[in-house]
């Protein structure tokens, strides 16, 4: 029977609950336990798919086609356990389900209320698909005291009462701020946060205290006394030099030992942390450095490209080099060739990531042209691949009016809206004017690679499966013309209709992919495309 760990946060947001959950899961996994992590999001959007990256950061996509919170990326990167649609739920999705049932008459005329209907739905979500697990970690978004999170806290309270006492444990992540003028760490915010949570019926068993300075033993005892926990259960969490050193840091502070003690587990095997020591060694002791320019639209907020950032870091680990990332606003490069050359000339690699909308598109196309003409390693992802195809059409295939119908009507739609495609569920169709939410080609789809292509050599296989998130596709009617300009379509959907990978064999490294390989990269298993891209950048750096 699965044991449940409920993770809440207090005082302020952005304390790192997701990273803490991922790190604890990795530590439990290192002891041989089977784990899964879930995220409860209190906002009313059904999913984050229609939310601006500036509002929510990146949208993480699972194999089964769910658009989820970016924390699920942390979960998967740290544990290697593929996330599923059932691992993320929002208030909006829960209310949508309940209202649908109410309209259908499923409640037999009963008054539909937060308790028990909403809380029952939350509990049902928490318990689903857990039979083969040892631990289920459930992270509650937001902070204690938020109106939006109250139904989730109430559901936790009920679950803790309904389950055996040794089957649940509550961890509260809180802030212990350092007041520079006083030269002291202050415990009062933590005390108030725990009091707020306890007033809602949930007494935390473990406190993870985020602090900028080491937590003195006197303050640790003080927190324990006023928050009704053991002193050993007050775990200090100082800022780390890298997110990948956090599991080792938390283990050194006794987090996993205290969690197991809270469940009454005394005979757990010692964790095998060799994987994490190797990751930290590769991260902290590089043998060189490369500079990669990411030419994008949302570069003002790095969380918009969180998985991409981490995948580049993983590529650096695979090559034992530090990857320095320059976030470049694509809009700046539009009609400013001197600025473009000055910014891109020093780079060892250029990456154009995915995105939506016209803003910055011409700057991205100019960046592709620069990489092609200067033979700089180029990696285009999703929209980045589409921009590479438009650049090829305009500048090497003679199709001057090449464009995409995503931005406007065009006489040469090299990229266009896909109306139907095949999935495991059968033929999927989209009609003009549909809702934006859930109308994309989402999740894992297979691709067939051209034998002896660069992509096939990188993957070591001709059959792959990668995660997609897009509405527009490269128009296969233009393949012959683009091929005449030197672009090779080295990956296609199994039915041969949808381009998945393009490359230029005459250049050192030039690949565009329609999918998002960054979503499957892990520190202990870097994605082969990112490992190869960084290897090409290393080679470029040595030629300079």
On the CB side of 250, CA atoms within 13 Å amount to 32
Radius of gyration of the chain (CA): 25
Task: Give me the residues paired with residue 417 across strands.
Answer: 472
30 with 271: CB under 8 angstroms?
Answer: yes
Catalytic option among 117, 172, 454, 516: 516
HSE (side-chain half, CA atoms, 13 Å) at 463: 2
Task: Exactly one of 211, 227, 280, 382 is catalytic; name it.
Answer: 382
Q: Which candidate in 219, 253, 503, 518 is catalytic? A: 518
Neighbours of 271 (CB within 10 A): 20
382 catalytically annotated: yes
165: number of CA atoms within 13 Å, CB side? 4
Which tokens belong to 536?
């090409």
Known catalytic membership, residue 518: yes
The answer to whether the CB of 295 falls within 8 A of the CB of 262 is no
Residue at token pair 């290897």: 535
- The span from the CA of 202 to the CA of 228, in Å, is 12
The secondary structure of 142-179 as a DSSP string is S-TT-TTTHHHHHHHHHHHHHS-GGGEEEEEEEE--EE
Is 516 noted as a catalytic residue in this protein?
yes
Q: Where are the alpha helices (H) located in 446-501, listed in sequence order?
A: 454-459, 479-484
Give the C-alpha separation, 393 to 314, whole Å: 33
| Dist. CA 2–CA 454, nearest whole Å | 45
Going from the C-alpha of 230 to that of each of 6, 62, 166, 225, 423, the distances in angstroms are 18, 39, 17, 8, 52
Cα separation, 153 vs 116, whole angstroms: 13
Q: How far, in Å, CA of 170 to CA of 250, rounded?
A: 17
Catalytic residue IDs:
382, 516, 518
């Amino acid at each position: 029977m699965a044991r449940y760990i409920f993770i809440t946060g207090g005082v302020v947001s952005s304390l790192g609950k997701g990273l803490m959950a991922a790190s604890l899961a990795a530590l439990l996994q290192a002891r041989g336990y089977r784990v899964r992590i879930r995220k409860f999001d209190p906002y009313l959007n059904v999913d984050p798919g229609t939310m601006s990256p500036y509002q929510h950061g990146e949208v993480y996509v699972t194999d089964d086609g769910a658009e989820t919170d970016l924390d699920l990326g942390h979960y998967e990167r740290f544990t290697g356990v593929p996330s599923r649609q059932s691992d993320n739920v929002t208030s909006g999705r829960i209310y949508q389900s309940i209202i649908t049932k109410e309209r259908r008459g499923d409640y037999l005329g009963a008054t539909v209320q937060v308790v028990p209907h909403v809380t029952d739905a939350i509990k049902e979500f928490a318990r689903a698909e857990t039979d083969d697990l040892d631990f289920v970690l459930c992270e509650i978004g937001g902070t204690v005291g938020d109106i939006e999170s109250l139904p989730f806290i109430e559901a936790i309270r009920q679950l803790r009462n309904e389950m055996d006492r040794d089957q649940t444990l509550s961890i509260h992540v809180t802030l212990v701020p350092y007041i520079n003028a006083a030269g002291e760490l202050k415990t009062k915010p933590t005390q108030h946060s725990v009091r707020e949570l306890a007033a809602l019926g949930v007494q935390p068993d473990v406190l993870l205290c985020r602090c900028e300075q080491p937590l003195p033993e006197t303050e640790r005892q003080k927190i324990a006394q006023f928050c009704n926990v053991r002193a050993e259960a007050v775990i200090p969490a100082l800022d780390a030099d890298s997110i990948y050193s956090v599991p080792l840091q938390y283990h050194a502070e006794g987090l996993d030992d205290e969690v197991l003690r809270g469940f009454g587990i005394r005979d757990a095997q010692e964790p095998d942390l060799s994987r994490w020591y190797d990751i930290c060694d590769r991260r902290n002791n590089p043998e060189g450095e490369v500079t990669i320019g990411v030419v994008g639209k949302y570069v003002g907020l790095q969380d918009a490209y969180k998985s991409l950032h981490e995948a580049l870091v993983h590529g650096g680990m695979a090559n034992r080099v530090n990857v320095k990332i320059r976030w470049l606003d694509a809009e700046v490069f539009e009609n400013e060739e001197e600025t473009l050359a000055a910014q891109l000339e020093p780079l060892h690699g250029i990456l154009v990531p995915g995105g939506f909308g016209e803003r910055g598109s011409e700057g991205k196309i100019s960046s592709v042209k620069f990489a092609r003409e200067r033979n700089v390693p180029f990696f285009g992802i999703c929209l980045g691949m589409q921009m590479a195809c438009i650049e090829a059409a305009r500048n090497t295939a003679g199709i001057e009016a090449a464009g995409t119908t995503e931005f406007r009507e065009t006489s040469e739609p090299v990229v266009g809206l896909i109306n139907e495609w095949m999935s495991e569920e059968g033929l999927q169709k989209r009609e003009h004017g549909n809702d934006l939410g859930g109308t994309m080609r989402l999740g894992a789809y297979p691709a067939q690679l051209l034998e002896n292509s660069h992509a096939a050599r990188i993957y070591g296989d001709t059959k792959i499966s990668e995660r997609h998130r897009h509405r527009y596709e490269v128009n296969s009617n233009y393949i012959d013309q683009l091929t005449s300009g030197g672009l090779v379509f080295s990956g296609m959907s199994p039915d041969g209709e949808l381009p998945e990978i393009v490359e230029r064999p005459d250049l050192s490294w030039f690949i565009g992919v329609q999918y998002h390989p960054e979503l499957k990269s892990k520190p202990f298993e870097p994605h082969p495309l990112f490992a190869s891209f960084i290897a090409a950048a290393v080679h470029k750096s040595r030629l300079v």
